[in-house]
Structure 1
Amino acid sequence: MADVFPQQYAFRSQKQLGLIGNGPSYAPVDGFEKPDATARICEYSRDGKLFAYVLPTGVRIINSEDGALVQEIAIPNVVELGFSPKATFLSTWERPTKAEDGTQHKNLRIFSLATGEEVYALSQKSQENWNLQYTDTETHALRLAGPEIQVFHPSTWSKGVVDKVKVEGCTYVNLGPGKNPHVAVFVGEKNGQPAAVRIHSLLALSSPPTSQKTFFKADRAQIKWNALGTQVLVLTQTDVDKTNKSYYGETMLYLLSAAGNFDCRVTLDKEGPIHDFSWSPNSKEFGVVYGYMPAKGMLFDQRVRTLHDFGAGPTNTISFNPQGRLIMLAGFGNLAGKVDIYDRRTLGRVTTIDAPNSSWCEWSPDGKFLLTATLSPRLRVDNGIKIWHCTGPLIHIHMIDELYQVSWRPTPVDQCPAFGQTLPIAPAPSPSAVEHTTAKPPPVKAAGAYRPPGARGTAAPAIYQRDVGPSSPSNNGYGNGNGNGQRYVPGAHANGNGNNNGQRRRNVPGASPAGSPAPTEGGEKKGKPKRKKTPREDGKVPNGTDSPVASPSPAPIPAVTAPDAETAPAGEGSLDPVAKKIRNLNKKIKAIDELKEKQGRGERLEATQLKKIESEAEIRKELSGLLAQSGPVSAAAA
């Protein structure tokens, strides 16, 4: 089945504005004349038939199919613009200014696209959420003016506000879709009162809410309705994280039904922020990406029951294609740009795409292609557009200097071919994609994290492996959850419990046990013979021998187990473990005797040195037991 409404994308850069047609040629749209001046912003209408862009002298609206001029509105200094759902009206916003006569500047203007005339104007100071929100049928439009929600009838703009309700503390409203639309209202925390989300019927704003939920730890909210307008997801966020675990505040996710028969908090099994959440087009399920990196992706149904765990990875974005057949999990921004695409039917991974430095990503209306772009000013080099097929191949590449904006032309879903039982086959790539692929060979993947020579070719111990399952407050990639805040170095020795007892100490084969006192001036160093270093027979260097041993602690630590007799080198390394321990205990006794001589001469000793002297009886007792156990051979070796 051929596309009834051919695909198209628009781009805006510092020097040009363009409309690009469908593949495989991806040629500019015939009839579209590029403006001489720099465009400030551009946008398609919801049905994709019209395209508007802002110039310093005014706004132009053209037919997106052939570039024919539909309307030109002479209004300078426009910063924002937006279409109504049925493209009946066009709204523009200018920066507010002070009039000479003291009258209020009506900087939000609404124009009829049929006549090009202004039908209504009002004052809107904030650029954030500046535009009016319309119902799908354009029977109602609303806006938030301070704490007051105002409702208009677009068919009779001259009547002005036809309904209003004042909600103290209201900072955000979101009008839902559907035949019986509702309005979600967010009220932040204030003076010890909890925050709240209330859902009102648009036709009865003054009546009690049909659904509401209160909660603490919420200074602002992001609200997303499902396509039917029956349920809403609310992401709350605080300005400051009082637990000091995040720079960006704490986040919580809640699900509410418009009818008021269901509401709950979405419980997540991993600590960390909620990076993204998205409804499926079927309105029956949603996906969430959450947790400290590597973040987890999870699919839930409309009763917050887990449907599928996508596992952990470097992701912060989730998106369904318009048909709901494919799910994208990706890591953009400060992540590497890895994109995983999953088939919703099988929940298996279809492909993985590498799109580094991407700052924009969007599904095509037919759900078969993914557009990624590197935009300025986030990144001023390698700006351009890449189009990928949903099965992985790169189909088209379009490099553009100082690229500011890009978007697909919207197309009604019913005008796009449906997905079959199997995924569609990728078309042939465009010449630009072929040239890019041949000119730039695929990057060689890194071999992984550095591992010292002694640890190469072996599996990483469990204590070094990152925990990707449910975490606790004390286990965020540091140690084994004992709260000591130390990271482990792959290849470094640790004692039996895997955490070095909270000390930054390494046990060196052949040296004194880690629990033994450190040599002091005039102590062990005095008279200690230098042992000749002998390399291992297998040529490997023991792990951790390139770092100095840290300062001692009174707490004893078990000694490192000696090497096997078969691989141990000749000389001192050939002693069995008992003989080595006897030798080390003798060294300790010798050091204690020297300290006692100092004490006898009236020299002042440190507290650690006095503690060594106190441990003499225990050391001698241990030595006697080992001598009795080992027999004359080990005693002679000692």
Structure 2
Amino acid sequence: MEFVAISSKGVEIYSTASSDPSKPKYELPTGARSPDGFTYSPDGLMCGVLTQKGDVDVYDCTKGYTKILTCQQQESFIRNFYFSPKGTFLVTYERYSTETQKENVHLWHLETGEIICSLILKQSNQRMWPCFKWTKDERVCVRMVTNELHFLSGRRPQLTKEATLFKLRLPNVASFELSPDCKTVACFVGENKGQPGMVKVYSITTADTKLLGQKSFFNCQTCNMEWNREGSSLLMTVHQESGRGLSQNYYGSTGLYFLHPSPMGQAGQNDLSLCTNNEPAQASAWSPNTNEFIALVGDMPPTLSLNEGVRGVSKVTFGRSRRNTLLWSPNGRYFLSGGFGNLPGEADVWDKEKHIKLAIMSLPCTVLSDWGADGRTLLTASIAPRMRVDNHIKLHNYDGKQTLEIPFDELYYAGWRPMDSSLFEDLAPSPRVVKAATTAAKKAAKEPVAKAKAAYKPPSGGAFAAALRAERHAIEKTDVKVEYRPPARAVGAPANLQELMNNLPQRLPPGMTVPLPQMNAKGGANSSTAARNARKRANRAAAKAAAKEKEEEEQREKEEEEEKKAKAVEEEAHSDEGKQHTTDDKRLRNLRKKLKEVTALKALPSDSLNEAQMSKIANEGNLMEEIKEIEARLG
């Protein structure tokens, strides 16, 4: 097997069969500094490399990566490109120029090296790119335009009216996905004018397209659709950016839906919401060779389950863990459940047949991960710009053992060369690995569940601190002024500092006696300083009390005057506008009540709504406009 690494050194091809897998087997010149600068054809027979001049060089991977063709830029540097399923065509995209206003997307026939057709694409976003989608046998090519899907001949696509096989008219269509059996197409129509978002499935075996099934849902902005291997069932991952509706989250809300269309139409379809109680969906993936899928559903940690592909119900539950990524091996025997991105990087390898966990791996800083065509080797990579340091490529066996690590100064992309998995024997896991996994599972089942660690409480968060805060809050709410009262003086204790100083023992010369203090008429010691201080304190207290009384009197007069003015203004306003305000207030209350009913109806499944309820939802825009007019009139 071969894998590619795009780094600051260029494009390097490594082989696991070479004597030293850590050394590149082939090196290709490139000007790429992102994954968009290199791609394999879906069959792995060819690859395209973006050059420093802005052209695309096409190489034959079966003949030692020899260059067979150069697709030159037409107006500006080529920004993106991809191959058709069988490698017959190459589609290139150049940045659109408002000055020249020429075609910037070109369809190349690789056998002849000529451009078959060109078109204008002003923005290369996820909705419009890729602009051509073929069936796997390349018999039919589909192109999405405004409110329509155009079905063209896949052998030699042309944009003329005569070359169009048939059209599917679908207002507000946002994206579509062809089934692997080339018989049906799933189309997503976004929300518009109060109408819910909807996924519709049509038969495309004839020009007379037939609706086979549909599923509607509110609160959706984007929808990712994925067919199973047979093309009989569909998984729909719906995303809402605002976090309103499915689950309240800063990053928005995500829901997972299942649809099994029927030739009988909507009456015979099976549809199911896999997210109950407003739970978010973390990840989902179809099995590559059976009609089953795995799903991670629920808040962290989500529940991992294996579901059957006809009704969508759960067959096996594997428990809960902090994971957000699911990857099937090409032979469908193993699958990886990993926690990457904002999670620590732990991953589990499960055996689908035996329902046991074969390995637990620690893969910190992992950005990319993928199974090799043999179904037993896992590639992981830490790449820029997500990780600016410690970039690397690692290979692991299905049992978690690391077999290779290649460090890079700056790595932009890493991935396997596509190969047919049927070329490799589908081997069962080693008995040694199964025995170790079974023993570990039994041991984990016997161990008591560890208690969750208590959250950290700062010193200010204890019970004593809480009691002090409550007491302080109660004092602040009272109107009574709290004054400090010194504790009662013990019997025989000095009354003040002067008395304390007088009672201190004195050191006198030998033979000298202690002089007696002079007494006043009341029997106390004379102190002119104490009398003077007492008079000052009395004067200050009297002045302070007088000032406070004057201030309170002025404040009362000011409040009475303001109250009289406000009352006069209110009486005047009521006399002029009282009747109008009363009518508008009643109307505004009724409109808000109706709007609240519409919001409650939108939260219900659309299948349970009748025509009257749907008409109320459609009238939501008129209600909001009338509410704005009345609020503006009321000021």
What SS does the corresponding residue of 2:28 show, helix, strand or coil?
A: coil
Alignment counterpart, residue 196 of structure 2, candidates 191, 194, 197: 194
CA 384–421 in structure 1, closer or farther in 2 if over 3 Å, else same = closer
| 1:324-335 mapped onto 2 (5 Å cutoff) | 324-335=332-343
Shift of 1:514: 12
- C-alpha contact (below 8 Å) 1:492/1:506 kept by paired residues: no
Matched residue, 1:87: 87
Shift of 1:28: 5.2
CA 328–99 in structure 1, closer or farther in 2 if over 3 Å, else same = same
Shift of 1:195: 1.2
Matched residue, 2:60: 63
Residue deviations 1:587-634, cap 9 Å, x none? xxxxxxxxxxxxxxxxxxxxxxxxxxxxxxxxxxxxxxxxxxxxxxxx
Matched residue, 1:26: 21
Residue deviations 1:283-325, cap 9 Å, x none? 4111111322222222211122212222222211111111111
Matched residue, 1:157: 157
Alignment counterpart, residue 286 of structure 1, candidates 280, 287, 293: 293
- C-alpha contact (below 8 Å) 1:15/1:38 kept by paired residues: no
- C-alpha contact (below 8 Å) 1:136/1:177 kept by paired residues: yes
| Partner Cα separation in structure 1 for residue 411 and residue 485 of structure 2 | 69
Residue deviations 1:551-597, cap 9 Å, x none? xxxxxxxxxxxxxxxxxxxxxxxxxxxxxxxxxxxxxxxxxxxxxxx
| Partner Cα separation in structure 2 for residue 424 and residue 186 of structure 1 | 48
Q: Which amino acid aligns with 1:74?
A: Q
Q: Which amino acid aligns with 2:79?
A: V
What SS does the corresponding residue of 1:157 show, helix, strand or coil?
A: coil
- C-alpha contact (below 8 Å) 2:260/2:271 kept by paired residues: no
Matched residue, 2:47: 51
| 1:145-544 mapped onto 2 (5 Å cutoff) | 145-158=145-158, 160-178=163-181, 180-204=182-206, 207-242=209-244, 245-259=248-262, 260=265, 261-268=268-275, 272-302=279-309, 303-420=311-428, 422=430, 489=455, 506=463
Matched residue, 2:113: 116
| Partner Cα separation in structure 2 for residue 233 and residue 49 of structure 1 | 30
Matched residue, 1:35: 29
Shift of 1:516: 10
| Partner Cα separation in structure 2 for residue 204 and residue 305 of structure 1 | 32
Higher mean C-alpha displacement, 63-72 vs 351-360: 63-72
| Partner Cα separation in structure 1 for residue 295 and residue 470 of structure 2 | 48
| Partner Cα separation in structure 2 for residue 525 and residue 318 of structure 1 | 72
Shift of 1:263: 2.6
| Partner Cα separation in structure 1 for residue 30 and residue 471 of structure 2 | 81
| Partner Cα separation in structure 2 for residue 519 and residue 79 of structure 1 | 67
CA 376–514 in structure 1, closer or farther in 2 if over 3 Å, else same = closer
Shift of 1:360: 0.6
Residue deviations 1:515-538, cap 9 Å, x none? 9999976799978xxxxxxxxxxx
| Partner Cα separation in structure 2 for residue 43 and residue 135 of structure 1 | 19
Shift of 1:34: 2.7
- C-alpha contact (below 8 Å) 1:338/1:353 kept by paired residues: yes
Shift of 1:249: 2.6
Shift of 1:377: 0.7
CA 181–492 in structure 1, closer or farther in 2 if over 3 Å, else same = same
Unaligned runs of 5+ residues in structure 1 are: 1-6, 427-457, 466-487, 494-502, 528-638
Shift of 1:228: 1.4
| Partner Cα separation in structure 2 for residue 195 and residue 379 of structure 1 | 37
Matched residue, 1:139: 139
CA 314–275 in structure 1, closer or farther in 2 if over 3 Å, else same = same
Q: Which amino acid aligns with 2:224?
A: Q
Higher mean C-alpha displacement, 225-234 vs 512-521: 512-521
Shift of 1:397: 0.8
TM-score, reference length from structure 1: 0.65
Higher mean C-alpha displacement, 188-197 vs 255-264: 255-264
Matched residue, 1:499: none
- C-alpha contact (below 8 Å) 1:20/1:26 kept by paired residues: yes
Higher mean C-alpha displacement, 80-89 vs 417-426: 417-426
| Partner Cα separation in structure 2 for residue 257 and residue 320 of structure 1 | 22
| Partner Cα separation in structure 1 for residue 109 and residue 433 of structure 2 | 43
What SS does the corresponding residue of 2:463 show, helix, strand or coil?
A: coil
| Partner Cα separation in structure 1 for residue 148 and residue 432 of structure 2 | 49
- C-alpha contact (below 8 Å) 2:141/2:157 kept by paired residues: no
- C-alpha contact (below 8 Å) 2:258/2:274 kept by paired residues: no
Q: Which amino acid aligns with 1:327?
A: F
What SS does the corresponding residue of 2:319 show, helix, strand or coil?
A: strand
- C-alpha contact (below 8 Å) 1:290/1:316 kept by paired residues: no
Residue deviations 1:357-406, cap 9 Å, x none? 11111111111111111111111111121111111111111112221111
| Partner Cα separation in structure 2 for residue 181 and residue 161 of structure 1 | 18
CA 53–522 in structure 1, closer or farther in 2 if over 3 Å, else same = same
Shift of 1:19: 0.8
Residue deviations 1:103-157, cap 9 Å, x none? x422221111112111121222332242211111100111212222111113233
| Partner Cα separation in structure 2 for residue 176 and residue 105 of structure 1 | 33
| Partner Cα separation in structure 2 for residue 385 and residue 12 of structure 1 | 11
CA 425–68 in structure 1, closer or farther in 2 if over 3 Å, else same = farther
- C-alpha contact (below 8 Å) 1:276/1:288 kept by paired residues: yes
| Partner Cα separation in structure 2 for residue 424 and residue 408 of structure 1 | 28
Shift of 1:99: 4.5
| Partner Cα separation in structure 2 for residue 225 and residue 168 of structure 1 | 23
Shift of 1:166: 2.3
| Partner Cα separation in structure 1 for residue 355 and residue 346 of structure 2 | 18
Question: Is it true that 1:8 corresponds to 2:2 in the alignment?
Answer: yes
Alignment counterpart, residue 71 of structure 2, candidates 73, 76, 92: 73
Name the Cα RMSD after superposition. Answer: 3.4
| Partner Cα separation in structure 1 for residue 433 and residue 384 of structure 2 | 33
Shift of 1:39: 6.0
Q: Which amino acid aligns with 1:20?
A: Y
CA 489–72 in structure 1, closer or farther in 2 if over 3 Å, else same = closer
Question: Highest Rg: 1 or 2?
Answer: 2
CA 36–266 in structure 1, closer or farther in 2 if over 3 Å, else same = closer
Shift of 1:36: 6.0
| Partner Cα separation in structure 2 for residue 460 and residue 421 of structure 1 | 31
- C-alpha contact (below 8 Å) 1:187/1:195 kept by paired residues: yes
TM-score, reference length from structure 2: 0.65
Shift of 1:205: 5.9
Q: Which amino acid aligns with 2:80?
A: E
| Partner Cα separation in structure 2 for residue 227 and residue 164 of structure 1 | 26
- C-alpha contact (below 8 Å) 2:242/2:252 kept by paired residues: yes
- C-alpha contact (below 8 Å) 1:93/1:130 kept by paired residues: no
